[in-house]
Structure 1
Amino acid sequence: MPFTAKSGKFNASINAVEFGTGDKAVKIGGENVFPLYSFDAAIENAPKVGIEITDFGMEHEPECIKKYYEGCATLADMARKAASMEGVDFLSFRMEGGDPNGANKSTEELIGELKEIADAVDLPLVVCGCKNVEKDAELFSKAAEALNGKNAVILSAKEENYKTVGAAAGLAYKQVVGAESAVDINLAKQLNVLISQLGVDSKSVVMNVGTAAVGYGFEYVISTMDRVKAAALQQGDANLQMPIITPVASEAWGVKEAMASETDAPEWGSQEERGIDMEVETAMAVIAAGSNAVILKHPESIKIISGLMKELV
């Protein structure tokens, strides 16, 4: 008797969200099958890959990253160089120096740098903060205004500051709002509901459900993403049908396996190879679990993940 495979295509689908403008705009989401299940139904929008730079430039980056930006005198130069890397779909700018417990850079300085970057490149932009909720509320509000008309992703609003961020980014300046929760499906859903109650269109919301580098509590990340996608597709839960963007770079390059120098850990081999491995393994794992876009740092990692997406989707 012939075997007839059962389709894994669902009636529900992930929202398709576009960010950026013009020919370089990208669209994520839109699928009605589980991640990478292109054998069940066509996945029109393959997962996208972004490249991250920060307001610190190359100050805190390992040598294996710095070499790709030789000759760059300004952040605008770095942005242009980053945008030219193979496989890059969008540019992410992290305003890391705004942290009041760190460099405590002023909002004016950071927004000025953001404007320089926005003027230098035509790629879609994702704006990340400093992980201090109060400062981020201020930074994201000003960033949404500064990027008016750019259709950027403001990543991310949290439960503590979603009213300020959502009102500025999603309502006043019509940017895409990122909703960030801490690796918990219930928290993710709750935040999406709160943002929608502000009046932000659910089709203009993406999620950052949290991440970690592989080997660092990563099973919680995977199980959360699995549950989010299952609820969105199998159960048709509209409050979890937003596509997911995952900032991988800051996690993967922050662990000892990527940071330890070859002098300190000669038995571990090349630091660059270790860093790329951590970034690629983390990125591919979250894509397989449901992420619709990842933010990476090393050009080789970006090339590898971008190539895999072309082969798998």
Structure 2
Amino acid sequence: MPFKMSVQDFKGKINEVEIGKGEKAIKIGGQKATALYHFDNDAGNAPKIGIEITDIYPEEWIASLKELYKDVANDPAAWAKFVEEKLEPDFICLRFEGSDPNGLDKSPEECAEVAKAVVEAISIPLVIAGTQNHDKDAKIFEKITAAVDGHNCLFLAATEENYKTVGASAGLAYKHKVGAESSVDINLAKQLNVLLDQLGVKNEDITMHIGCSAVGYGFEYLISTVDRIRLAALGQNDKTLQMPIITPVSFETWTVKESIAEEEDAPEWGSREERAISIEISTATSIIAVGADAVIVRHPKSLETLKNLTSQLA
């Protein structure tokens, strides 16, 4: 008797969102099946991998990364160009750590100048992230969205506290893409998507950042939330949850003790760099396997490993 594979036929489809412009623009989403289930239905676009850079010199980064970027890290535009040419990620994530009110507190105008210089220096898509200070992020994004007009950037992130400002400037006024950031909760994710839709931002212009954690730090709760979101989007055809997911893995994995503990403090753990890379890769591969459409990493070895993985799985 011939073998007949059982196929799960879902009613829903994940929206396809385009970021960037020209030949180097990327598309994420588009699935009609759960992650990597090519045998069920259209698996959509392959996951995309981006590299994180910052608007200021990364004092807290490990020595090998500071050595790699020593000639460019003081100039975000040169840094971005170096990353595009030497590392070849699918996109770059520019994180505005310098605007943190508890740090340098750079003005929105300063941030806008940096963003404009960076986006004009590269041809691949640009994702723009703030400081996690929601009030300040809203202020800098208002200026940055205008400065990068026409480049179809993705802004991370619109939260419950600032979605009106971020959604209006990024999604409505300048036609960028908006990342809706919630905190590992399907209901909060759905609510924020609904609020952005009511504001006037099209579902096709929204991505979701539903939270992240490093492996070993409540990661199974994150995985179960992504599972529930994808099953509702596909199985129940819930259009309020059919946005692709982008996960800034590096924002979390480089802050846990296994990544930051110096070798002299924990010699039994081995190389700090190897530890951090392993945690970053483990976290990124796990979230891709359950449904993330794009991830952001910091280390070039993580990028290389993940790009090889996604190309083999495509």
**TM-score interval for Structure 1 and Structure 2 normalised by the shorter chain:** over 0.9
Q: Does 1:148 align with 2:143?
A: no
Shift of 1:70: 3.2
Distance in 1 (CA, whole Å) between partners of 2:244 and 2:143 is: 24
Match of 2:28 in 1: 28
Listed one character per residue, the Cα deviations across residues 146-201 of structure 1 (whole Å, up to 9, x for unaligned) are 11000000111001111111011111000001100000000000000000001111
Q: Which amino acid aligns with 1:191?
A: L
Match of 1:134 in 2: 135
Q: Which amino acid aligns with 1:35?
A: A
Query: Given that residues 85 and 299 in structure 1 are in contact (C-alpha distance below 8 angstroms), is that contact kept between their aligned partners in structure 2?
Result: no
Query: Given that residues 209 and 244 in structure 1 are in contact (C-alpha distance below 8 angstroms), is that contact kept between their aligned partners in structure 2?
Result: yes
Distance in 1 (CA, whole Å) between partners of 2:102 and 2:301 is: 32
TM-score, normalised via structure 2 length: 0.97
Q: Which amino acid aligns with 1:178?
A: G
Listed one character per residue, the Cα deviations across residues 207-226 of structure 1 (whole Å, up to 9, x for unaligned) are 00000111111111111100
Query: Given that residues 12 and 235 in structure 2 are in contact (C-alpha distance below 8 angstroms), is that contact kept between their aligned partners in structure 1?
Result: yes
Shift of 1:110: 1.8
Shift of 1:57: 2.6
Match of 2:241 in 1: 240
Q: Does 1:105 align with 2:98?
A: no
Listed one character per residue, the Cα deviations across residues 37-86 of structure 1 (whole Å, up to 9, x for unaligned) are 12223424100000000112332211121222132252222111111244
Distance in 1 (CA, whole Å) between partners of 2:189 and 2:86 is: 33
Q: Which amino acid aligns with 1:175?
A: H
Q: Which amino acid aligns with 1:30?
A: G
Q: Is the partner of 2:208 in helix, strand or coil?
A: strand
Cα distance, 1:14–1:183 mapped onto 2, change above 3 Å: same
Q: CA RMSD in A?
A: 1.2
Match of 2:250 in 1: 249
Distance in 2 (CA, whole Å) between partners of 1:216 and 1:130 is: 22
Listed one character per residue, the Cα deviations across residues 7-55 of structure 1 (whole Å, up to 9, x for unaligned) are 1242311000001000000000001010111222342410000000011
Query: Given that residues 50 and 296 in structure 1 are in contact (C-alpha distance below 8 angstroms), is that contact kept between their aligned partners in structure 2?
Result: yes
Distance in 1 (CA, whole Å) between partners of 2:9 and 2:153 is: 31
Distance in 2 (CA, whole Å) between partners of 1:58 and 1:80 is: 17
Distance in 2 (CA, whole Å) between partners of 1:205 and 1:118 is: 20
Shift of 1:103: 2.6
Distance in 1 (CA, whole Å) between partners of 2:29 and 2:102 is: 36
Unaligned runs of 5+ in 1: none
Listed one character per residue, the Cα deviations across residues 208-250 of structure 1 (whole Å, up to 9, x for unaligned) are 0000111111111111100000000011000000000000011
Unaligned runs of 5+ in 2: none
Q: Is the partner of 1:67 in helix, strand or coil?
A: helix
Deviates more, 1:240-249 or 1:79-88: 79-88
Q: Which amino acid aligns with 1:66?
A: K
Query: Given that residues 211 and 222 in structure 2 are in contact (C-alpha distance below 8 angstroms), is that contact kept between their aligned partners in structure 1?
Result: yes
Match of 1:185 in 2: 186
Match of 1:229 in 2: 230
Q: How many residues align?
A: 313
Q: Does 1:262 align with 2:280?
A: no
Cα distance, 1:87–1:39 mapped onto 2, change above 3 Å: farther
TM-score, normalised via structure 1 length: 0.97
Distance in 2 (CA, whole Å) between partners of 1:62 and 1:204 is: 35
Match of 1:7 in 2: 7
